[in-house]
DNA sequence: TCTGGGGTCCTAGGACCC
DNA sequence: TCTGGGGTCCTAGGACCC
């Protein structure tokens, strides 16, 4: 019988801030933006802040109305990544089979470890204690025979929770839960649930597979059918096939000036090309994203035979896509760009590139190297230098 | 209230080939 | 004269997650 732990750090960013700043402890901490930051949203709210109704993804403007005396912070990703690494290292002590899902949560396969470490509940208690003692953070843990149920179980008694679903008890665990607990069914699906009078997992359980696929589509209908029966989603176990990277910027005010938008696009290109080189990827497919003032969003992408080689190459491709899509006169609130279907940059990489670009590429590699050695140097090329 | 940023996966349709 | 079926690659958009 397989056994999985899902471990999820409680209000992670806010908790790290409270750890580093004792004066924040016991107070509502909201990470994501300062009061007055236009168009920022809450990234994490401490449990004290949640009592005011503040939650993730809420506009900061609204959070300030609910909780005017809260402690508002923009956040420090570098510090959160550092703290996350400490936690993941401890997780790794408990299981060699560790699957990190995001910065603050992971699955641990503890199948067959009971002989070594004791019953699964005791393993989880040890894990929670070590995380608390060595990092000062609390973690909520779910235990089940598959990852999907373990994930839902960890959310049952947050914060500092521990929930065990015994083997064979998966269906009994799921059926009474409100449909809102289904991981993978977001706001659009919740609306559909409501429309069809589906309040609990049991309501969904009573529908046939045919009925579910008719209502929700083939793949998602099957997913729901299995989820309410406590069966794990297979998708966790498979190797993730394609990778992509993207960067985007929402402007505090809508932009109408083409040159200003293009400059932002150029800065995004710089971010992307450094990351591409740094992580040793290559990509033939580039994409842009434009969000207009009314929040309608359009995208375009283009695949070409040759991989992106240089900053200017990337910028040219994106500018071309931008002008294909951009509707003059409409206010632009966001511009973004991405690189998709990333492949590992092989040794033969050079041959794929136009040799005329070689010098430029070498220069960019050099700048990348300097930026890595001296992170403060902030070397930049071209367009944004004159500011 | 007015909606971030960085990802993954799914669907539907078009183009093209055999 | 009109039109099958399967496979692959690509694009646009949407839903969802943290």
Tell me: the pLDDT tens digits for A329-386?
A: 999 999 999 999 999 987 444 444 555 566 777 777 776 666 655 555 555 555 654 3
Q: How far apart are CA A182 and CA A363, in angstroms?
A: 50
From the candidates A17, A105, A262, A364, give the one annotated as an active-site residue. A105
Q: How far apart are CA A56 and CA A27, in angstroms?
A: 17
Q: Is the pTM of this model over 0.85?
A: yes
* Residue ranges with strand state E in chain A: 4-9, 29-31, 44-45, 71-73, 98-102, 105-109, 139-144, 162-164, 244-255, 281-282, 285-292, 297-303, 332-340, 343-344
A303 touches strand B (CB under 7 A): no
DSSP, collapsed to helix, strand or coil, labels residue A171 as: helix
* Residue whose token pair is 């309040």: A199
Q: How far apart are CA A14 and CA A75, in angstroms?
A: 9
Q: Are strands A139-144 and A162-164 parallel, antiparallel or unpaired?
A: parallel
Q: Using the C1' atom of nucleotide C9, identify the protein residue whose alpha carbon is closest.
A: A303
pLDDT score, position A238? 56
How would you label A11-30 residue by residue, b for 16+ Cβ within 10 Å and e otherwise? bbbbbbbbeeeeebeeebbb
Total residues belonging to chain A: 387
pLDDT score, position A7? 98
pLDDT score, position A232? 77
A254 touches strand B (CB under 7 A): no
For every residue of A131-168, DSSP letters joined together read HHHHHS--EEEEEESSHHHHHHHHTTT-SS-EEE--TT
Nearest nucleotide by C1' position to the A56 CA atom: C18
A187 touches strand C (CB under 7 A): yes
Q: Which of chain C's bases lie under 7 Å from a protein CB?
A: 9-18
A57 touches strand B (CB under 7 A): yes
Q: How far apart are CA A8 and CA A138, in angstroms?
A: 9
Q: How far apart are CA A320 and CA A323, in angstroms?
A: 5
Distance A243 CA to B16 C1' (A): 26
pLDDT score, position A349? 45
A247 touches strand B (CB under 7 A): yes
The verdict on whether A105 is a catalytic residue reads yes
- Taking the CA of residue A108 as centre, how many other CA atoms within 13 Å lie in the half-sphere pointing to its CB? 26
CA-nearest of A77, A84, A10, A75 to A48 is: A10
The parts of chain A modelled with pLDDT lower than 70 are 233-240, 347-358, 367-387
pLDDT score, position A371? 63
A235 touches strand C (CB under 7 A): no
Contact by Cβ (8 Å): A280, A345? yes
Distance A386 CA to C15 C1' (A): 41
């Amino acid at each position: 019988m397989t056994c999985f732990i899902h471990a999820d750090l409680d209000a992670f960013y806010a908790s790290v801030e409270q750890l580093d700043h004792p004066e924040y402890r016991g107070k509502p901490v909201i990470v994501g933006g300062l009061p007055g930051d236009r168009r920022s949203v809450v990234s994490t709210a401490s449990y004290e802040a949640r009592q005011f109704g503040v939650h993730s993804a809420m506009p900061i403007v609204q959070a300030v109305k609910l909780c005017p005396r809260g402690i508002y912070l923009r956040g420090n990703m570098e510090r959160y990544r550092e703290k996350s690494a400490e936690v993941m290292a401890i997780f790794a002590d408990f299981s060699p089979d560790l699957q990190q899902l995001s910065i603050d949560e992971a699955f641990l396969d503890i199948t067959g470890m009971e002989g070594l470490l004791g019953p699964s509940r005791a393993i989880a208690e040890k894990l929670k204690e070590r995380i608390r003692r060595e990092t000062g953070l609390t973690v909520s843990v779910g235990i089940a025979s598959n990852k999907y149920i373990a994930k839902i179980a960890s959310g049952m008694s947050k914060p500092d929770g521990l929930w065990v679903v015994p083997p064979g008890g998966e269906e009994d665990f799921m059926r009474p839960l409100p449909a809102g607990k289904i991981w993978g069914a977001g706001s659009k699906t919740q609306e559909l649930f409501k429309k069809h009078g589906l309040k609990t997992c049991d309501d969904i359980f009573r529908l046939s597979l045919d009925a579910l696929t008719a209502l929700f589509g083939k793949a998602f209908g099957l997913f729901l059918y299995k989820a309410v029966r406590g069966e794990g989603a297979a998708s966790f176990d498979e190797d993730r096939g394609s990778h992509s990277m993207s960067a985007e910027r929402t402007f505090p005010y809508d932009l109408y000036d083409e040159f200003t938008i293009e400059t932002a696009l150029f800065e995004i290109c710089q971010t992307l090309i450094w990351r591409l080189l740094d992580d040793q990827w290559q990509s033939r497919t580039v994409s842009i994203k434009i969000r207009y003032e009314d929040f309608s969003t359009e995208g375009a992408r283009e695949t070409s035979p040759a991989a992106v080689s240089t900053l200017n190459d990337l910028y040219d491709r994106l500018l071309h896509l931008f002008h294909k899509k951009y509707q003059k006169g409409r206010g632009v609130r966001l511009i973004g760009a991405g690189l998709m279907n990333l492949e590992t940059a092989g040794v033969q990489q050079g041959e794929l590139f136009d040799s005329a670009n070689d010098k430029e590429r070498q220069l960019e590699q050099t700048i990348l190297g300097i930026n890595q050695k001296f992170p403060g140097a902030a070397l930049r090329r071209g367009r944004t230098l004159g500011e």
